C-alpha cells in the first residue's frame, strides 16, 4: 500500500487552491461517502468521487488532476444535492477539470476533442452547428464512424447550414480575450 506523508504543506496547499477556484470549503468533508453512493458514474470512474475529495484534503494533487474521474463526471449534481455538509461536490469536480485544462492534462482525450469541437463551432458561428461538431470530432479523434449508424435517422432532425448570428465576431472576441487572459 502506498504511504503518504502528511505535512502541513501537503494538507493546505492543494485544498486552498481548489477552494480558491470553487469557493467550496474542503475541510468540511468528513468522508461519509454519500456522494459516491448516489453517483451514477462511479462504475466508470478510476476513483470514486469521495476518494477524489479525500485526495484534495491530503494534497495529492498529481493523482487527482490526472484521474479519469474528473473528466467522466457529467455534473449531474446528485452529489451536490445530497452532501450533508453542503459542499457543491460537482463544482469541485468542475474546478479540478478547470485546473487540469490550464495545465493541459487531458486524461480522457476523446472528451477533450469533443469539447473543443463544440467550442470551435461556437466561436465560428456564435451558435453551435451539430453536424459540424460531429464531423470535426470524427476527424480529430480518428473515430471516423462515430454515430454513422444514426445517419439516415438523424437527417430529419438536423439542419445543414450553421445558424450564423450577426454578433459572431463579438462571441469570437469573448473567446479571444479569454485565451489572452489565461
Partner 1 sequence: MIEQEYAYYSGCSLEGTASSYDRSIRLILKALGVTLREPDDWSCCGSTPAHAMDHLLAGALAARNLAIVERMETATLTTPCPACLSAFKKAHARATEDRAFKDEVNQLLDIPYEGGVKAKSTLQVIYEDVGLEAVASKVTTVLPDLKAACYYGCILSRPPRLAAFDDPENPISMDRLLAACGVEVCDFAFKTECCGAAFGVPKKEMVLRLTHKVLTMVEDCGANCVVVACPLCQQNLDLRQAQVNRAMGSSFSIPILYFSEVLGLAFGYTPEELGLDKHIVSTDALIRSRRSKEAEETVSTVKEKVKKSAAQGTAGKSGNAPGPEDTASATKEA
Q: Is residue 135 within the footprint of partner 1 (CB under 8 A)?
A: no
Nearest to 87 by CA among 40, 130, 26: 26
What secondary structure letter does DSSP report for 3? -
Which of 7, 157 has the CB closer to partner 1? 157
What secondary structure letter does DSSP report for 26? G
What secondary structure letter does DSSP report for 126? S
The separation between CA 25 and the C-alpha centre of its own chain, rounded to angstroms, equals: 20
Q: Is residue 11 within the footprint of partner 1 (CB under 8 A)?
A: no
Nearest to 111 by CA among 158, 150, 75: 75
Residue of 25, 62, 77, 103 interacting with partner 1 (CB under 8 A): 77
Residue of 33, 101, 103, 142 interacting with partner 1 (CB under 8 A): 101
Distance CA 158, CA 152 (A): 11
Binding site for partner 1 (CB under 8 A): 21, 23, 40-41, 43-44, 72, 74-78, 80-81, 88, 90, 94-95, 97-98, 101-102, 108, 110-111, 113-116, 118-119, 122, 126-128, 130, 133-134, 137, 141, 146-147, 149-150, 153-154, 156-159, 163, 165-168, 170-171, 173-175, 177-178, 181-182
Amino acid at each position: 500500500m502506498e504511504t503518504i506523508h502528511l505535512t502541513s504543506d501537503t494538507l493546505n496547499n492543494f485544498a486552498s487552491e481548489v477552494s480558491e477556484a470553487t469557493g467550496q470549503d474542503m475541510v468540511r468533508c468528513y468522508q461519509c461517502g454519500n456522494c459516491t453512493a448516489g453517483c451514477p458514474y462511479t462504475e466508470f470512474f478510476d476513483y470514486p468521487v469521495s476518494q477524489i475529495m479525500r485526495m484534495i484534503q491530503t494534497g495529492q494533487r498529481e493523482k487527482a488532476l490526472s484521474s479519469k474521474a474528473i473528466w467522466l463526471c457529467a455534473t449531474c449534481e446528485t452529489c451536490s444535492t445530497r452532501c450533508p455538509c453542503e459542499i457543491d461536490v460537482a463544482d469541485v469536480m468542475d474546478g479540478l477539470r478547470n485546473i487540469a485544462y490550464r495545465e493541459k492534462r487531458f486524461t480522457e482525450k476523446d472528451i477533450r476533442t469533443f469539447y473543443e469541437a463544440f467550442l470551435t463551432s461556437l466561436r465560428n458561428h456564435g451558435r453551435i452547428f451539430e453536424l459540424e461538431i460531429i464531423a470535426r470530432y470524427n476527424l480529430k479523434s480518428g473515430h471516423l464512424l462515430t454515430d454513422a449508424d444514426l445517419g439516415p435517422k438523424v437527417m430529419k432532425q438536423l439542419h445543414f447550414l450553421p445558424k450564423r448570428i450577426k454578433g459572431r465576431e463579438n462571441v469570437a472576441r469573448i473567446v479571444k480575450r479569454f485565451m489572452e487572459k489565461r
